[in-house]
Amino acid sequence: MKGNKVLIVDDEKNIRMTISQALADMDVETHSAVNGEEALAMLKDADFGLVLLDLRMPGMDGMEVLARLREDRPDIRVIIITAHGTIDCAVDAMKLGAVDFIQKPFTPDEIRHLVSKVIARETLEAEKNADYDSCLELAKRCVAERHFKAAAEHARKAIARDASRPEAFNFLGALCDVQEEKLEAQKHYRAALSLDPTYKPAQFNLSRSIGTKPDTGHGILFGEKGE
Cβ at position 2, least distance to another protein in Å: 29
Cβ at position 219, least distance to another protein in Å: 16
Q: Please, what is the angle between helix 132-144 and helix 108-121, to 10°?
A: 90
Other Cβ atoms within 10 Å of 172 Cβ, number: 24
DSSP reduced 3-state for 116: helix
Of 13 and 225, the one with the shorter C-beta distance to another protein is 13
Instruction: Please return the burial class of 150, using the count of CB atoms within 10 Å of its CB with bins 0-12, 13-18 and 19+.
Output: middle
> From the CA atom positions of the chain, what is the Rg in Å?
17
Point out which residues bind another protein (CB under 8 A).
13-15, 17-18, 21-22, 84, 104-110
Cβ at position 103, least distance to another protein in Å: 9
Question: Measured between alpha carbons, how far apart are the two ends of the chain, in Å?
Answer: 27
Cβ at position 84, least distance to another protein in Å: 5
Cβ at position 25, least distance to another protein in Å: 9
Of 73 and 104, the one with the shorter C-beta distance to another protein is 104
CA distance 30 to 104: 19
Of 74 and 85, the one with the shorter C-beta distance to another protein is 85
Cβ at position 214, least distance to another protein in Å: 12
Of 7 and 22, the one with the shorter C-beta distance to another protein is 22
Q: Find the DSSP H helices in the chain.
A: 13-23, 36-45, 62-72, 88-95, 108-121, 132-144, 148-161, 167-178, 182-195, 200-210
Of 105 and 197, the one with the shorter C-beta distance to another protein is 105
Going by C-alpha positions, the residue among 141, 142, 138 that lies closest to residue 128 is 138
**Antiparallel, parallel or unpaired: β 77-82 and 100-103:** parallel
Of 107 and 207, the one with the shorter C-beta distance to another protein is 107
